[in-house]
C-alpha cells in the first residue's frame, strides 16, 4: 500500500511538520532503514495523540504497522489492528485502507489465505478512483490469493485489470503479462483474452 499524507483538505503548522516527517520516514523506509523510519513515525504518533488529532494518529499507526512488518511481525499486527479499530471508530477510510491492505499482506505471508482474501476484498472496495497504484497493489495480492486457492479464473480477472492499470499509468507490464499468460495457459493471445474479460466486467 502507498503511504498517504494527503487525506486532509487543510494543514496547520503541526500537520505540515508531520507530513514532512512522514515523507522522510517513507524515504528511509524505502532505503531499508526501518528503525529510522519507525523513529520518525513514533514522534509523529506521540504528538498527534498529545494534540488529540485522531486522523493523524490513525494514519500514523497504519504507517508504523507497515514499517514494523519488516522489524517485528507481532508488533506490526498490533499496530495495524489498532489502526483498523480506530479508523472504523472515526469512519476514516484512508487509515482503514492502509490497515486492511497491510493486514492482508501479513496474512498472505503467514499462509492464511482465507483471512488474506477477506481482508483484501474489503480493502479493494475502499480505494478511491484516483489511487490506482493502491488498487493495482491490492489486485495483485488478491490474484495471488485466488491462485493459491485454486480459483485461476478469478486470479486471471484480477491480473487482467492490473494490465489495464499498467497501460493507463505507463507501467511496464512484462511480469504482469507473463502472469496473465501463465494463468491463461498461454492458449490465446493475451489481447483477445483481455478484451473478452473486460467485456464481461
Q: Tens of pLDDT along 27-49?
A: 999 999 999 999 999 999 999 99
Per the structure, the complete domain to which residue 163 belongs is given by 128-201
Average pLDDT, the chain: 87
- % helix, strand, coil for the chain, step of 5: 75, 0, 25
Q: Is it the case that residue 132 has pLDDT exceeding 50?
A: yes
Is the alpha carbon torsion for 85, 137, 126, 52 positive or negative?
positive
Residues 121 and 25 in one domain: yes
Residues 99 and 134 in one domain: no
For residues 7-12, give the mean pLDDT: 70
Residues 137 and 111 in one domain: no
**What is the per-residue pLDDT for 5?**
81
**What is the per-residue pLDDT for 110?**
86
Residues 105 and 164 in one domain: no
The pLDDT confidence band at residue 71, using thresholds 50, 70 and 90, is very high
The pLDDT confidence band at residue 80, using thresholds 50, 70 and 90, is very high
Residues 15 and 103 in one domain: yes
Residues 110 and 138 in one domain: no
CATH number at residue 54: 1.25.40.10
Residues 98 and 191 in one domain: no
Domain boundary among 126, 147, 164: 126
**What is the per-residue pLDDT for 42?**
97
**What is the per-residue pLDDT for 22?**
95
Q: Is it the case that residue 147 has pLDDT exceeding 60?
A: yes
The set of cell numbers assigned to 119 is 481482508
Q: Is it the case that residue 86 has pLDDT exceeding 60?
A: yes
**What is the per-residue pLDDT for 44?**
96
Q: Is it the case that residue 9 has pLDDT exceeding 70?
A: no
Q: Is it the case that residue 191 has pLDDT exceeding 70?
A: no
Residues 144 and 83 in one domain: no
In the chain the first and final C-alpha atoms are separated, in Å, by 24
Residues 43 and 94 in one domain: yes
Residues 143 and 174 in one domain: yes
The C-alpha angle 43, 75, 68, rounded to 5 degrees, equals 60
Q: Is it the case that residue 88 has pLDDT exceeding 70?
A: yes
Residues 132 and 99 in one domain: no
Q: At residue 78, what are phi and psi to the nearest 5 degrees?
A: -65, -45
Alpha-carbon torsion angle 115, 105, 98, 65, nearest 10: 110
For residues 69-73, give the mean pLDDT: 92
Domain boundary among 62, 95, 126: 126
Q: At residue 111, what are phi and psi to the nearest 5 degrees?
A: 80, 10
Q: Note the pTM of the prediction, 2 decimals.
A: 0.81
Residues 72 and 160 in one domain: no
The tens digit of pLDDT for each residue in 154-187 reads: 998 998 898 899 889 888 877 878 888 888 774 4
The set of cell numbers assigned to 175 is 511480469
Q: How many domains does the chain have?
A: 2
Amino acid at each position: 500500500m502507498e503511504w498517504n499524507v494527503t487525506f486532509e483538505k487543510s494543514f496547520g503548522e503541526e500537520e505540515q511538520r508531520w507530513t514532512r516527517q512522514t515523507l522522510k520516514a517513507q524515504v528511509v523506509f524505502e532505503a531499508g532503514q526501518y528503525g529510522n523510519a519507525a523513529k520518525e513515525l513514533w514522534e509523529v504518533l506521540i504528538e498527534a495523540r498529545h494534540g488529540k488529532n485522531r486522523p493523524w494518529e490513525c494514519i500514523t499507526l497504519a504507517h508504523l504497522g507497515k514499517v514494523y512488518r519488516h522489524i517485528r511481525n507481532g508488533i506490526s499486527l498490533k499496530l495495524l489492528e489498532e489502526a483498523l479499530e480506530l479508523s472504523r471508530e472515526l469512519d476514516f477510510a484512508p487509515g482503514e485502507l492502509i490497515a486492511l491492505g497491510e493486514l492482508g499482506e501479513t496474512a498472505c505471508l503467514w499462509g492464511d489465505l482465507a483471512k488474506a482474501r477477506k481482508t483484501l476484498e474489503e480493502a479493494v472496495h475502499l480505494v478511491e478512483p484516483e489511487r490506482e497504484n493502491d488498487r493495482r497493489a491490492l489486485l495483485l495480492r488478491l490474484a495471488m490469493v485466488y491462485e493459491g486457492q485454486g480459483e485461476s479464473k478469478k486470479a486471471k480477472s484480477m491480473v487482467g485489470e492490473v494490465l489495464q492499470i499498467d497501460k493507463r499509468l505507463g507501467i511496464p507490464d512484462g511480469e504482469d503479462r507473463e502472469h496473465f499468460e501463465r494463468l491463461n495457459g498461454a492458449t490465446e493471445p493475451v489481447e483477445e483474452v483481455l478484451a473478452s474479460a473486460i467485456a464481461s466486467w
